[in-house]
Amino acid sequence: MSKISEIIENKKHYDGITLVERMKECHTSAVSIALIENFEICEAYAYGVKRRAAKEYVTVDTLFQAGSISKPVFAVAVLRLAERGTLDIDTDISEYLVDYDVPTYDNQKHKITLRQILSHHAGLNLHGFAGYQQGQKIPTVEQILTGAFPSNNLY
């Protein structure tokens, strides 16, 4: 049995039901799973439809918005760098930033640390993110940080 088959078919992962059954229970129209080993995709799986009415099925090449998956990836990267002594999660991040000053809610200087950012206690959170449609102009990092067009991350 492949690793993907184990993930989608083993009922212990989803409280006694399969992945497809859990998707139906949660009204999830599509899912894509990729297993990575040694920095390479070793297995991929896709199930469901892009649009329920059109019955356009997803494939392993269908693009999904990454959403919150970047948060644990960022956290692991930060903690690995901290473990190596490359950075300190309790140091004010302004010491690490060269060309950017983190805006604060009251325009005053506050110490903001990676520990606070990772635990959502830095006062930087935005609720939700609309993402970008295929063909839509993608903003630069600076535009995202400042909220300048075409970014859509500041409400």
Record the tokens describing residue 81, joined without a space. Answer: 């760098």
E strand or H helix at 115: helix 114-118
C-alpha 58 chain-centroid distance:
20
Q: In DSSP terms, which residues pair with 44 in a beta bridge?
A: 34
Kind plus residue range of the DSSP H or E element containing 83: helix 70-83
80 burial (CB, 10 Å; 0-12 / 13-18 / 19+) is exposed
Q: Hey, which residues are catalytic here?
A: 68
DSSP 140: P
